[in-house]
């Protein structure tokens, strides 16, 4: 499988545009934990994920984090090329949550094609609208959902992604996903444990009653 099989609008490019793209993109293999993009000073380019998992998050002045979206196989990360959009006025950080293979499309090449091609520009619009929707979903969660439901939803999401009920997650990393504090997450997880929904041990959270966690989310 080649780049053109992964890039959804390859067929909408003309030959010259295909050549420019093919001639400028490159592949990267990054290890789990690698910081791929950091704030607006960094014009990394668009990232097309061949396999792996990325996390985009924002950082407070005091080092707190909250995940704003996650990307999986075949997803495209647009905001790592936010330098090409004047009106993007925020800074995100992107790290690999798993070993990841990806293609990098240099921002200035993509921008050049986007400026001449309505098809590419409209596709970019849809990409941005998807990420915008992710953030609006998150906003609704933060505003209207209590933290117990958000923790339960995160544990279930992780279990689905990892295909296991034994999660290798520190309380700190869960706090960083949800924009909370470690102490708060620890207290919540201990409450879940008392209720028989999880079993805690050093560095892992085991889901022992998935239906009950699901019920908590759905309430």
What's the start-to-end Cα distance of the chain, in Å? Answer: 43
Which residues contact a second copy by CB under 8 A?
58, 60-62, 64, 66, 68, 85-90, 114-118, 120-122, 124-133, 135-140, 142-144, 179
Which is nearer to a second copy, 26 or 132 (by Cβ)? 132
Which is nearer to a second copy, 28 or 64 (by Cβ)? 64
- At closest approach, how far in Å is the CB of 64 from a second copy? 7
- At closest approach, how far in Å is the CB of 209 from a second copy? 26
| CA distances to 28, 144, 175, 176 from 149, in Å | 37, 10, 14, 16
- At closest approach, how far in Å is the CB of 153 from a second copy? 16
Which is nearer to a second copy, 86 or 194 (by Cβ)? 86
- At closest approach, how far in Å is the CB of 192 from a second copy? 23
What's the CA gap between 177 and 195, in Å, rounded?
23
- At closest approach, how far in Å is the CB of 118 from a second copy? 4
Contact at 8 Å (CB) between 66 and 52?
Answer: no
Torsion of CA 82, 87, 91, 94, to 10 degrees: -30
Which is nearer to a second copy, 24 or 117 (by Cβ)? 117
Which ranges of the chain would DSSP assign to H, the alpha helix?
3-6, 15-24, 107-116, 118-144, 147-162, 171-178, 182-194, 210-218
Which is nearer to a second copy, 133 or 204 (by Cβ)? 133
Which ranges of 7-85 would DSSP assign to H, the alpha helix?
15-24
- At closest approach, how far in Å is the CB of 164 from a second copy? 29
Which is nearer to a second copy, 117 or 165 (by Cβ)? 117
């Amino acid at each position: 499988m080649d780049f053109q099989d992964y890039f959804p609008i390859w067929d909408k490019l003309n030959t010259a545009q295909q050549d420019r793209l093919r001639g400028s993109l490159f592949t990267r293999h990054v290890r789990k934990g690698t910081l791929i993009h950091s704030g607006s000073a960094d014009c990394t380019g668009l990232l097309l994920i061949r396999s792996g998992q990325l996390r985009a998050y924002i950082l407070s002045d005091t080092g707190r984090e909250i995940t704003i979206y996650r990307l999986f196989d075949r997803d495209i990360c647009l905001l790592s090329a936010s330098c090409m959009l004047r009106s993007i006025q925020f800074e995100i950080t992107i790290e690999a949550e798993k070993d990841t293979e990806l293609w990098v499309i240099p921002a200035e090449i993509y921008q050049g094609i986007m400026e001449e091609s309505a098809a590419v520009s409209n596709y970019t619009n849809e990409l941005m609208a998807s990420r915008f929707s992710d953030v609006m979903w998150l906003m609704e969660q933060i505003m209207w959902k209590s933290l117990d439901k958000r923790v339960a939803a995160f544990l279930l999401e992780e279990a689905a992604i990892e295909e296991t009920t034994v999660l290798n997650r520190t309380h700190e990393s869960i706090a960083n996903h949800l924009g909370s504090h470690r102490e708060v997450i620890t207290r919540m997880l201990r409450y879940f444990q008392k209720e028989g929904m999880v079993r805690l041990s050093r560095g892992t959270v085991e889901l022992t009653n998935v239906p009950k966690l699901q019920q908590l989310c759905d309430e």
